[in-house]
């Protein structure tokens, strides 16, 4: 009944733990796991023997590295069950009832999307619990019917691709249910390049800008509400400002500021579709995930960017 799609690139150190967390689910017999091997240095075939009596496991190998977004799309197209769950190869299902709680809710309420609680491992093993987070693919169960009805896919990217996918899904206005149960354990690596390397972060911002152009084009193709499109573009610009810049120092920050001004031009192309009161009401959608992001209106944000560029 549920397809779990796991993109994997050189994830041999963590993926067995990930699969064990799937095995322990109280509804394990109705779960089918697809590992999309994104041209790792060595294959994952050994996992078939390890888990052959525990879970229904299929491994699909990309002959060239295609990135996380394309790998998830391959998983969507290869699978057939009515519900889809995305799990990263270094993360876990935190409870034996994680999938069951999602499944029971989507069946009972006939939702297009069910959002659970995401547990985030911080420094010193501290835990943060995030509820009602719609802006990433983790901790959610999706209806395949809704995804296929709107022909929803991930962009060809490995940076911010899940947030962009969810933005496109959300402007299609799905029926969403929320549960208070823990459904995803996200393990942070504080030493990863995504947090330490200014060049990576700068390129990540450029990738986010490219993905937002893709998002606006795809949303326009489907004739989605322009006010909704503008709201999610604004959220992603806020993410760029408050998160990526938080990890950068001079002189990198100034080059990013200048690029953010260009980024804003995409949002401004939708300016005429929003009433002034809408602009004051649009708050950053990452509040609660990143607690140091304040609520901010478009006018306040535009002033900050303009004043920051030398």
Are the CB atoms for 271 and 230 separated by under 8 Å? yes
Question: Is residue 278 pLDDT above 80, yes or no?
Answer: no
Mean pLDDT of 37-60: 96
Tokens of 27: 């509804």
Whether 20 shows a pLDDT value over 50: the answer reads: yes
Cα angle, residue 296 at apex, residues 294 and 300 outer, rounded to 5°: 130
DSSP 3-state assignment of 64? coil
Structure confidence at residue 193 (pLDDT): 41
- Among the listed residues 1, 8, 15, the one whose alpha carbon sits nearest the alpha carbon of residue 85: 1
Strands 83-86 and 140-143 come out as antiparallel
CA 99 – CA 25 distance, rounded (Å): 7
Whether residue 111 contacts residue 74, with contact meaning beta carbons closer than 8 Å, is answered with: no
Identify the pLDDT of residue 191: 47
The DSSP line for 75-110 is: HHHH--SSEEEE--TT-B--STTHHHHHHHHHHHHT
Of 217-221, 224-228, 271-275, the one with minimum mean pLDDT is: 271-275
Which residues are CB-contacts of 136 (< 8 A; sequence separation ≥ 6)?
118, 162, 163, 166, 289
Average pLDDT over residues 106-134: 89
Kindly list the domain boundaries of the chain, sorted by start residue: 2-187, 193-308
User: In this model, does residue 17 exceed pLDDT 90?
Assistant: yes
Task: Please state the rounded mean pLDDT for residues 217-239.
Answer: 87
Q: What's the start-to-end Cα distance of the chain, in Å?
A: 55
CATH superfamily of 2-187: Spore Coat Polysaccharide Biosynthesis Protein SpsA; Chain A (3.90.550.10)
pLDDT of residue 276: 74
Pick the range with the lowest mean pLDDT from 98-107, 199-208, 214-223.
Answer: 199-208
- pLDDT tens profile 144-194: 999 999 999 999 998 889 999 999 999 999 999 999 999 999 987 554 445
């Amino acid at each position: 009944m549920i397809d779990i799609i796991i993109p994997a690139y050189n994830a041999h150190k963590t993926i067995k733990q990930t699969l064990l967390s799937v095995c322990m689910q109280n509804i394990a017999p109705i779960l089918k796991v697809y590992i999309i091997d994104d041209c790792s240095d060595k294959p994952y075939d050994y996992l078939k023997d390890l888990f052959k009596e525990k879970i229904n496991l299929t491994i699909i190998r990309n002959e060239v590295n295609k990135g996380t977004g394309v790998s998830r799309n391959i998983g969507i197209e290869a699978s057939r069950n009515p519900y889809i769950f995305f799990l990263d190869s270094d993360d876990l299902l935190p409870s034996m009832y994680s999938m069951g709680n999602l499944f029971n809710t989507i069946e009972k309420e006939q939702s297009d999307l069910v959002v659970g609680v995401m547990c985030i491992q911080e420094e010193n093993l501290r835990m943060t619990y995030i509820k009602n987070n719609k802006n990433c693919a983790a901790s959610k169960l999706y209806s395949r019917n809704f995804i296929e009805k709107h022909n929803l896919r991930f962009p060809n990217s490995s940076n911010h691709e899940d947030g962009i996918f969810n933005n496109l899904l959300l402007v299609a206005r799905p029926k969403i249910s929320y549960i208070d149960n823990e459904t995803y354990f996200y393990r942070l690596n504080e030493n990863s390049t995504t947090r330490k390397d200014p060049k990576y972060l700068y390129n990540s911002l450029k990738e986010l800008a490219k993905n937002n152009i893709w998002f606006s084009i795809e949303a326009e193709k489907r004739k989605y509400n322009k006010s909704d499109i503008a709201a999610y573009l604004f959220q992603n610009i806020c993410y760029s400002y408050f998160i990526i810049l938080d990890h950068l120092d001079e002189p990198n920050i100034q080059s990013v500021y200048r690029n953010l001004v260009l980024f804003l031009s995409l949002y401004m192309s939708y300016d005429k579709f929003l009433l002034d009161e809408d602009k004051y009401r649009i708050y950053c959608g990452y509040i609660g995930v990143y607690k140091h992001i304040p609520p901010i209106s478009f006018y306040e944000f535009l002033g900050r960017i303009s004043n920051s560029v030398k």
